[in-house]
Amino acid sequence: MLLQVLAAIAALFVLSGLLNSRRRNMHVPPGPKALPLLGNVLDIPKKDVHVTFRDWANIYGKDLMKVEMPGETLYVISNKKVMVDLFEARSAIYSSKPTMTMADSSGFKNSIPLLPYNARLKTSRRLLKQGLSPAAVRSYFPYINNRTALFLEALLKDPDDFVRHFTRTAAHTALKIAYGYEGVTEDHHLLHTAIETMEIFATVVNPGRWLVDTLPILDRIPVSFPFANFKRVQEESRPVVFETVSKPFEEVKKHLAEGTADGSFSSYLLQSEKPDPETEDCIRWAATSIFLGQSDTTTATLSWFTHAMVKFPEVQKKAQEEIGRVIGNDRLPEIQDRDSLPYVNAIMKEIFRWQPIISMLPRSVVQDDKYNGYFVPAGTYLLANIWAVLHDPEVYPEPEKFMPERHLKEGVPNPLDVTFGFGRRVCPGMQVAQSQTFGTMAAMLATLNLKPQKDEHGRDIIPETRTVDGLIRFPVPFKCAFVPRSEAALKLIERGAEHARSVPDRLERWSD
């Protein structure tokens, strides 16, 4: 096996040389000078790669920039127009994904975010579009609003663990939308396993972390092979992933057979789609993708919101004044109030712009192409630098500053049009994600003052704006004091939580 691995490495470098020779004979994009065999790998930092790529793009070009890696050439895009041109206008050939061997062998081979552009992906996205239609998402609003009141109650009981409250609330909502049956959100083992699956997913898809993604032949070595820790990660991950994907889905089928299912994503599609094994498996994985796609990203977004409100109290005060003026003090804000609260909505947009949760989106082209005179070979790995687009000073002046007011001006591009992707791989759950994020933010602003905690000398502890290394961009851990704005605000939370517990734990069937 060792000889096979060494031979594969040698073949990889020979193939790399042939491909680079082919590219030298074509007109390829400019990029930083690369070393033989190693390419630019020594120039790329371990953290904040998107910032380095933005800086290089300012030198070599925002449209397309070539970055050499061992055995692979990346094309980095830092221009929104190019992203739209390729991923939307030419989506038929730019909608695939690079193969991620580590994730595939950890149990995620059929996970929708990782599928190449094939018939299964088309079916899966059709199902997601149908099950997350505007009418379906609106039908979820009452449940999400009620869940927000329960979140506020839990937050006040244990404010130091606010990130866990974000995660549990997002996970509860995603599980309910995906599966819906009564008791799904009270199944603590399922919730724990689902959160563990989400953490595994974020680990195994982390770009550049796993050598097996560059050398897929390594996936064939035994677990006992020296330095084969990745194989142990795969073996430990598969049963956890299988349980998360299969257990709640089988429970939905059981409730359907008993006539006790409600208006969840899975139950609706199991009844409306043809009952064949392939379609059923697509529904199973589509339901899982609702959870994987929402929980971690919603947690990160709300963490950045909390960070921003602690750091920029003047923004918080202005939002609270708008809520008081428009909503008053007799009820909690709801998702349906979004159009009536433009400044709060602008805060949400600025959170997504200022700290996009995923900095770069990968794509792969399935056939040779040319763009603006540049050759794009089939199989090229493209990275859309979302962060760079949202921090372009020509589009968003002073991009490092947190300024929600910029989104109240005419002609300012909506960052939500970039954050959630493009074309045939745009995030199908973006309406749910935005709805839950807005509703949670507005309710927190209406009832709580988010303040910095004090150190031992009574001085404010202002959080430092830095990110944790990983696929999802979380802020480094920080502390926050959640102070009820008034006795009336406390009563509002209590009434909202009592109401949430009093209504049936059901999702009603929607109709388009």
Distance in angstroms (rounded) separating the CA atoms of residues 456 and 375: 60
Could you give phi then psi for residue 160, rounded to 5 degrees? -70, -25
How is residue 474 written in tokens?
Answer: 């979380």
| Pairing mode of beta strands 381-385, 360-364 | antiparallel
SS (H, E, C) 256-319: HHHCCCCCCHHHHHHHHCCCCHHHHHHHHHHHHHHHHHHHHHHHHHHHHHHHHHHHCHHHHHHH
Residue 16 CA, distance from chain mean position: 32
Q: What single-letter DSSP state applies at residue 64?
A: -
Residues 6+ apart with CB under 8 A from 89: none
Distance in angstroms (rounded) separating the CA atoms of residues 386 and 384: 6
Q: What single-letter DSSP state applies at residue 72?
A: E
Distance in angstroms (rounded) separating the CA atoms of residues 20 and 281: 40
390-396 contacts at long range (C-beta below 8 A, 24 or more positions apart): 390/352, 390/353, 390/354, 390/356, 390/415, 390/418, 390/419, 391/54, 392/78, 395/80, 396/353
Residue 253 · residue 270 · CB < 8 Å: yes
Q: Is 427 annotated as a binding residue?
A: yes
Residue ranges for the binding site?
427
What residues form the annotated binding site for heme? 427
